[in-house]
């Protein structure tokens, strides 16, 4: 029975959960993996701080370099948060030949190419199940269960905070600001919720999934990201009347010409779509492979226990590698797919809500601009009565190129009859049940 020394860098919610659950289920892990895990050191910024989980004397250190320098530590678990300091830890740990387990999505999304290049050159395995969708084992699924598939597409709800806010807006009719305040009060949103509501938390996860599916790291500058701040109670209500729910959807697709498209934005999802039923803080990923067909992954996307469950699963994988030797590559680069599809060329149907003057000829002006940009109108809905002194006009638009849509939107916004900033959201046309 092998004892594997591990070091944990960062002892916040997830780090303390990993320690607690290793203690709780240590005997179960020994039976299933043939190895035991011994936490040799825990690096924290403030060693004197009172913590939820008490650590044995001599385990705590203020410097993560002590983990790298300790010859008895064979696996380093990085749960520090941030980017620059964890990147330095990765570099030094890899050069020291230590396996690294992480949940740091931002680090991998921004520096994945460099990190895995270095790891492969040194034959050091990296594991990062906890970086995407908390306790949902999507990384293992894409890397191993679907290794014989070309991944045609993935769509996911990858941020529990934004999904909770949109769910509450749907269920109660409240607007964005009070729904966000409620999420913060309940602990589902941070005091500074920017990365959750502006879409970038989900975008970092989408970049990681795209890299696994398509064998290359997508620059964040080539990912289209739109947050949920612009979604109003009116949009939720109008979408529901049209047969849709609004969700923050991460969409990852390989097009027929091999180019890859990655976007994260509020999207109208048909009521019948499997993702439309995902509510509250839950996450889900809907995946289509050319061999397996459709698969759905659903579960808690954050929190101490779900995320620590993924970290511990990676520790078990690390133990297997240490036991049998070799290198379980965390990422395999290949050239089977092309570059990113520019967002301007991407096709989608759209939902467009305008606040306009209540007079004849307004719709004709707007329809004329759309026609000039080869954008067809599928349906028109006009609210009964004014809202804030303005007439809401909702247009469901046929599939159009994003670039053309933006050009048309700029012209429509400049019309004197348009009284407020338009709201434009993508629409998911395919009803996946």
159 with 251, same domain: the answer is yes
Residue 85 lies in a domain: yes
Residue 230 lies in a domain: yes
Residue 332 lies in a domain: no
Query: 3-state DSSP call for residue 294?
Result: strand
81 with 156, same domain: the answer is no
Q: Domains in the chain: how many in total?
A: 3
Which residue, among 333, 342, 334, 375, has the nearest Cα to 255 in the 3D structure? 342
281 with 313, same domain: the answer is no
Q: Which residues pair with 126 in a beta bridge?
A: 100
Residue 265 lies in a domain: yes
What is the side-by-side order of every strand in the sheet holding 2-9?
60-61, 35-43, 2-9, 73-78, 99-102, 126-127
18 with 120, same domain: the answer is yes
Task: For residue 149, give the CATH number of its domain.
Answer: 3.30.360.10
**Residue 45 has which token pair?**
């910024």
Beta strands in 218-376 (DSSP E): 224-225, 244-254, 260-270, 282-289, 293-300, 347-356
Let me know: does 374 contact 400? Beta carbons within 8 Å.
yes
More reliable by pLDDT, 160 or 54: 160
Of 98, 105, 205, 216, the catalytic one is 205
- Burial profile 146-156: b = 16 or more Cβ within 10 angstroms, e = fewer: beebebbbbbb
Question: How would you classify residue 243: left for phi > 0, otherwise alpha for psi between -120 and 50, otherwise beta?
Answer: left
Phi, psi of 61 (to 5 degrees): -140, 150
Residue 18's domain comprises 2-134+304-324
What is the number of other CB atoms lying within 10 angstroms of the CB of residue 207?
Answer: 26
387 with 280, same domain: the answer is no
33 with 125, same domain: the answer is yes
38 with 184, same domain: the answer is no
pLDDT of residue 330: 72
31 with 168, same domain: the answer is no
Residue 339 lies in a domain: no
Residue 334 lies in a domain: no
Convert the pLDDT of each residue in 35-80 to its tens digit: 899 999 999 988 878 888 888 888 999 999 999 999 999 999 999 9
Which residue, among 346, 81, 109, 103, has the nearest Cα to 221 in the 3D structure? 109
193 with 148, same domain: the answer is yes
Q: Is 122 a catalytic residue?
A: no
pLDDT of residue 48: 79
11 with 114, same domain: the answer is yes
Task: For residue 65, give the CATH number of its domain.
Answer: 3.40.50.720
List, as one string, the DSSP characters of 34-84.
SEEEEEEEEE-S-TTS--SS---TT-EES-THHHHH-TTEEEEEE---SSH
Phi, psi of 382 (to 5 degrees): -120, 125
130 with 155, same domain: the answer is no
Task: For residue 376, give the CATH number of its domain.
Answer: 3.30.70.260
Convert the pLDDT of each residue in 183-217 to its tens digit: 999 988 888 899 999 999 999 999 999 999 999 89
Q: Angle CA(91)–CA(92)–CA(96) in degrees, nearest 5?
A: 120
Query: Could you tell me where the DSSP H helices lie in 128-159?
Result: 138-140
Q: How far is CA 398 from CA 18, 348, 378, 382, in A?
A: 49, 8, 6, 18
The angle that helices 160-172 and 233-241 make with each other, rounded to 10 degrees, is 70
pTM of the complete model beyond 0.75: yes
Q: CA 113, 115, 118, 123: dihedral to nearest 10 degrees?
A: -110
Is the model's pLDDT at 387 over the cut of 80? Answer: no
Average pLDDT taken over every residue of the chain: 92
Strands 282-289 and 151-157: antiparallel
Convert the pLDDT of each residue in 226-257 to its tens digit: 999 999 999 999 999 999 999 999 999 998 88
283 with 225, same domain: the answer is yes
Convert the pLDDT of each residue in 306-358 to its tens digit: 999 999 999 999 999 998 776 676 777 777 788 899 999 999 999 999 999 98
């Amino acid at each position: 029975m092998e004892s594997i020394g591990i070091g944990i860098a960062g002892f916040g919610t997830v780090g303390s959960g990993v320690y607690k659950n290793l203690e709780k289920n240590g005997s179960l892990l020994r039976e299933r993996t043939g190895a035991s895990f011994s936490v040799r050191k825990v690096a924290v910024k403030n060693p004197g701080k009172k913590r939820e989980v008490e650590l044995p004397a001599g385990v705590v250190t203020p410097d993560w370099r002590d983990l790298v320098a300790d010859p008895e530590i064979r696996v380093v678990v990085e749960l520090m948060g941030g980017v620059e300091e964890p990147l330095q830890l990765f570099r030094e740990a890899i050069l020291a030949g230590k396996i690294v387990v992480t949940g740091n999505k931002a680090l991998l999304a921004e520096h994945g190419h460099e990190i895995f290049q270095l790891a492969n050159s040194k034959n050091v395995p990296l594991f990062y199940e906890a970086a995407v969708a908390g306790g949902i084992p999507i990384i293992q699924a894409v890397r191993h269960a679907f290794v014989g598939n070309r991944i045609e597409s993935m769509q996911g709800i990858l941020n529990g905070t934004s999904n909770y806010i949109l769910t509450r807006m749907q269920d109660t009719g409240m607007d964005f600001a009070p729904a966000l305040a409620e999420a913060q009060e309940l602990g589902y949103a941070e005091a500074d919720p920017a990365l959750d509501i502006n879409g970038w938390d989900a975008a970092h996860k989408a970049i990681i999934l795209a890299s696994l599916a398509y064998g290359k790291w997508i620059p964040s500058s080539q990912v289209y990201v739109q947050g949920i701040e612009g979604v109003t109670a009116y949009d939720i209500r109008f979408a529901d009347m049209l047969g849709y729910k609004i969700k923050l959807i991460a969409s990852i697709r390989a097009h027929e010409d091999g180019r890859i498209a990655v976007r994260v934005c509020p999207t109208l999802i048909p009521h019948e779509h499997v993702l439309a039923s995902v509510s509250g803080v839950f996450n889900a990923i809907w995946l289509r492979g050319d061999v397996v067909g459709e698969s759905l992954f659903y579960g808690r996307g954050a929190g101490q226990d779900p995320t620590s469950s993924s970290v511990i699963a990676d520790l078990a994988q690390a133990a297997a590698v240490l036991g049998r030797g070799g290198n379980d590559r965390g990422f395999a680069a290949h050239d089977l797919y092309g570059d990113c599809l520019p967002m301007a060329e991407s096709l989608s149907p759209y939902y467009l809500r305008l606040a306009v003057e209540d007079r004849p000829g307004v719709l004709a002006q707007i329809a004329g601009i759309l026609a000039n940009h080869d954008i067809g109108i599928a349906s028109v809905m006009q609210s009964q009565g004014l809202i804030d002194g303005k007439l809401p006009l909702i247009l469901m638009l046929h599939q159009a190129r994003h670039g053309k849509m933006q050009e048309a939107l700029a012209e429509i916004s400049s019309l004197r009859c348009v009284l407020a900033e338009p709201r434009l959201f993508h629409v998911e046309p395919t009803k996946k049940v």
